[in-house]
Amino acid sequence: MPALPHPGRRLAAIGTLSLALALAGCASTGGLEPAAQLRDADTHAAARSLDGAPTSPAAFPRQDWWRAFGDPQLDTLVAEALDGSPSLVAADARLRKARAQAGLASAARKPTVAGSAQYAVAQLPEGLAGEELGGQLMHNAVLMLNFEWPLDVWGGRRADYEAALGEARASQIEAQAARLSLAANVARSYIALAQAHEAHDIALREQQRSERLLQLGRQRVDAGIDGALSLRNAETAIATAKAQVEAAQQQIDALRTALAALLGQGPDRGLDIARPRLLQAPAPALPGVLPSELLGHRPDVVAARWRVEAAAQGIKSAKATFRPSIDLSGLVGLAATDFADLFDGDAVLGFGGPAISLPIFDAGARRNRLDARNADYDLAVARYNQGVVDALHEVTDAVQAIRSLDAQERSLQEARASAEAALQLAEARYHAGIGSQLEVLSAQRPLLQVEQQLAALRAQRYLAAVDLDRALGGGLSFDAPATASTASEPNS
């Protein structure tokens, strides 16, 4: 039976341990707490700003929200972009890295077993080891299994895992946000392409009107009714219209190239994009649960909320380092001077037991680490709170823009009808010889301006619909941490 340690030695060991525990207690977390607080989304008043907009519990957009525009080519382009655009590779890579980090944090909480085998030959000089050992080759063979298990007594390693898991969830949501952003950019470029085609049509109509005016002017000059000045005026109008046609065509070409880039294809892909046939601008509809439900639908807001959770777990992990850590470790193996003796009974070796590590003095490193984690939490909370504010403002801006654009279009349609009637009257008077070319040119200009304004306004109306769908989360839905959960309260 092995001899028991001397009582004096046991008392000395206990005293040393007590002193170490007392010294470890000198490093405290006192005075280090985060300052920021999560704000409830429903504290942001928006009812009056959104008053009058139709609401429905199911009014969040669908995930394929772009189909509401009624253009099959747009549907194809968005699907192609989401299927193979290089711009999504970075988001997917960040997601894989975050998942790997979460896997590493999870592995750090679990037992590990490692095996090793070694065969070594050594020779010691006689002058150092003596005649008995020196000058002879010594052989040894070792087989070992090493076991380690860090006991997570204070939950610090679990907090590290939860923090990494929160970052992975945020990265996963941001990968979806990248897809939403890409779909919106394709839709926006497509709408701009539709506007460029309409601008091209308007310029062509203006050119054709000016050419008819020039033809009539030549007849009047030949008849001696007007002078050559009227021809110069008509030629100027034609040249101006041709320049606008060329400018619109250049815009069409540039937008086709831009769409091809969004698809991850070369410029030639853009040449195959036909003229857009957008059939309708979707009417605005809002869910009746704003602003609180934005937390589950806006990818940027949900990702920010998960980062708040990760930062809270980071604080718990930092606090755990102020307490002693306990590990279990063990080693079992076989050792002998020759392979033939390796499996004899007296070749067995073993070692193991618990080990305690006590933080005593680190020149303030742990306090500074905790202070940094508190600052990370405050920053994450501030970004989340600001994200909720920005999201609600984006929804409100889109709804108000749609209201205004619809009203402007009604007024411009009336102005267009009046301008067309005025031009027809001026042309009839000029053709009958009782009006001047100046009257016709003066009547053409307002109609051209109104048609250009209508084209721009229709594009803005489509873009406002895209902005609203994107502001409402693009039909995405995510699981988010509860705002008041104890997990997100680092001081609990």
Please report the DSSP string for 172-223 in residue order. HHHHHHHHHHHHHHHHHHHHHHHHHHHHHHHHHHHHHHHHHHHHHHHHHHHT
Residue 484 scores a pLDDT above 60: no
Residue 80 burial (C-beta neighbours within 10 Å; 0-12, 13-18, 19+): middle
Mean pLDDT over 13-28 rounds to 51
Report the percent of the chain where pLDDT is more than 70: 81
What confidence score (pLDDT) does residue 488 get? 52
Residue 26 — very low, low, confident or very high, per pLDDT cuts 50/70/90? very low
Contacts of 306 (CB under 8 A, 6+ apart): 166, 167, 169, 170, 173, 480, 481
Residue with tokens 């607080």: 37
Give per-residue pLDDT as tens, 206-234.
888 888 777 777 776 666 666 677 677 77
What confidence score (pLDDT) does residue 57 get? 56
Residue 103 burial (C-beta neighbours within 10 Å; 0-12, 13-18, 19+): middle
Question: What is the spatial distance between Cα 245 and Cα 263, in angstroms, rounded to a whole number?
Answer: 27
Residue 361 burial (C-beta neighbours within 10 Å; 0-12, 13-18, 19+): exposed
Mean pLDDT over 288-308 rounds to 78
DSSP SS3 for 147 = strand
Question: What is the spatial distance between Cα 263 and Cα 173, in angstroms, rounded to a whole number?
Answer: 22
> 386 near 298, Cβ under 8 Å?
no
- What fold characterizes domain 111-151+324-358? Outer membrane efflux proteins (OEP) (2.20.200)
pTM: 0.76
The better pLDDT of the pair 30, 64 is held by 64
Which range scores top for mean pLDDT: 23-27, 80-84, 268-272, 482-486? Answer: 268-272
Question: What is the spatial distance between Cα 384 and Cα 378, in angstroms, rounded to a whole number?
Answer: 10
Residue 43 — very low, low, confident or very high, per pLDDT cuts 50/70/90? low
Cα 434 from chain centre = 66
Mean pLDDT over 321-341 rounds to 81
Superfamily (CATH H level) for 27-109+155-323+365-488: Outer membrane efflux proteins (OEP) (1.20.1600.10)
What confidence score (pLDDT) does residue 33 get? 81
Residue 2 scores a pLDDT above 50: no
Provide the CB-side half-sphere exposure for 121 (13 A, CA). 3
Question: What is the spatial distance between Cα 50 and Cα 289, in angstroms, rounded to a whole number?
Answer: 12
In which element (H, E) is residue 149 found? strand 137-151
In which element (H, E) is residue 353 found? strand 348-357
Mean pLDDT over 264-273 rounds to 92
Residue 248 scores a pLDDT above 70: yes
Contacts of 15 (CB under 8 A, 6+ apart): none
Residue 337 — very low, low, confident or very high, per pLDDT cuts 50/70/90? confident
Q: Which two tokens stand for residue 55?
A: 């609401």
Mean pLDDT over 269-297 rounds to 76
Closest residue by Cα to residue 184 from 314, 77, 295 = 77
**Other CB atoms within 10 A of residue 95 CB:** 20
DSSP SS3 for 350 = strand
Residue 46 — very low, low, confident or very high, per pLDDT cuts 50/70/90? low
Cα 87 from chain centre = 12
Q: Domain residue spans in the chain?
A: 27-109+155-323+365-488, 111-151+324-358
Of the ranges 42-56, 357-371, 412-426, 467-481, which one carries the lowest mean pLDDT score? 42-56
Residue 310 scores a pLDDT above 70: yes
Q: Which two tokens stand for residue 23?
A: 């010294």
Cα 388 from chain centre = 15
Give per-residue pLDDT as tens, 427-455.
888 778 777 767 777 788 888 888 888 88
Residue 355 — very low, low, confident or very high, per pLDDT cuts 50/70/90? confident
Bridge partner residues of 119 (DSSP): 141
Residue 244 scores a pLDDT above 80: yes
Q: pLDDT averaged over the chain?
A: 80
DSSP 8-state code for residue 39: P
DSSP 269-311: HHHTPPPP-----PPP-B-TTTTGGGGGT-HHHHHHHHHHHHH
Question: What is the spatial distance between Cα 71 and Cα 116, in angstroms, rounded to a whole number?
Answer: 65
Contacts of 358 (CB under 8 A, 6+ apart): 20, 21, 23, 24, 324
Closest residue by Cα to residue 213 from 415, 446, 454, 435 = 435
What confidence score (pLDDT) does residue 134 get? 67
Residue 59 scores a pLDDT above 70: no
DSSP SS3 for 329 = strand
Q: What one-letter code names the amino acid at 119?
A: Y
Closest residue by Cα to residue 108 from 320, 303, 363 = 320
